[in-house]
Structures are given as C-alpha cells and as structure tokens.
Amino acid sequence: MEFDIVYVRDLVGTIKDKNAVVVDLRDKKEYNQGHFPGAVNLPIDETDIYENVLRKDRYYILYCDHGGSSMQLARYLGRRGYKVASVIGGYAAM
C-alpha cells in the first residue's frame, strides 16, 4: 500500500508520533463551518497544487467528508513518494 489508514480513535496519537500535518480536503465553506483543530485547508478541487505545496519529507494525514476522496488522493500522492494517510470515515467520523 502506498499510503496509511488512520482511524479517528488513533488520529491524535498518529499526529504526535509522526509530527503530521492534518489536511482538510473539503471546500472552504465546509472548513469554515468546522474542522479538526490545526488542520490546514487544501480543497480537493485544487489537486493540481498538491505537488507544489506538499513536501516529501513531511507526513500528511488527509481527510474529506466521508473518506473516499482523501483515500484516492492519498493513493495518488503515495505513489509519487509522499508520506500520507487517509482518515477512515472522514470528518463525518470525527
């Protein structure tokens, strides 16, 4: 597998263990209505920017609404050498 899976119950521990950056893939409106504390917002519809913004020496934990989009992007980035994980169930599970 090119990326990791993170369950909500393990999210805080994984962030600490990996010194991870949490990335919210939802649009700005959804992000502004509520997000995981400390998460940065990089909407999924701006995927062409990811390889210009993310560094390969950092660990990223991605989440979206329910987990599908973050899993697809994690797979894409993982195949390109990024260290990434997707939150199972997304923000809805939080």
3-40 pLDDT, tens digit each:
999 999 999 999 999 999 999 999 999 999 999 999 99
Q: Does residue 64 carry a catalytic annotation? A: yes
- Please identify which of the residues 64, 74, 87, 88 carries the catalytic annotation: 64
- Band (pLDDT 50/70/90 cuts) for residue 1 is low
In the 8-state DSSP scheme, what is residue 80?
A: T
DSSP, residue by residue, 1-62: --SEEE-GGGHHHHHHHHTPEEEE-S-HHHHHH---TT-EE--GGGGGGHHHH--TTSEEEE
What local confidence, expressed as pLDDT, does residue 46 receive?
75
Spans of all domains in the chain: 4-93
Q: Which residue, among 19, 14, 38, 27, has the nearest Cα to 65 in the 3D structure?
A: 27
Over the stretch 47-72, which tens digit does the pLDDT of each residue have?
677 878 899 999 999 999 999 999 99
What local confidence, expressed as pLDDT, does residue 84 receive?
98
CATH classification number, 4-93, choose in 3.40.250.10, 3.30.530.20, 3.40.30.10, 3.40.50.150: 3.40.250.10
Q: Using CA atoms, how far apart are residues 52 and 67, in angstroms rounded to an integer?
A: 23
The answer on pLDDT for 92 being more than 80 is yes
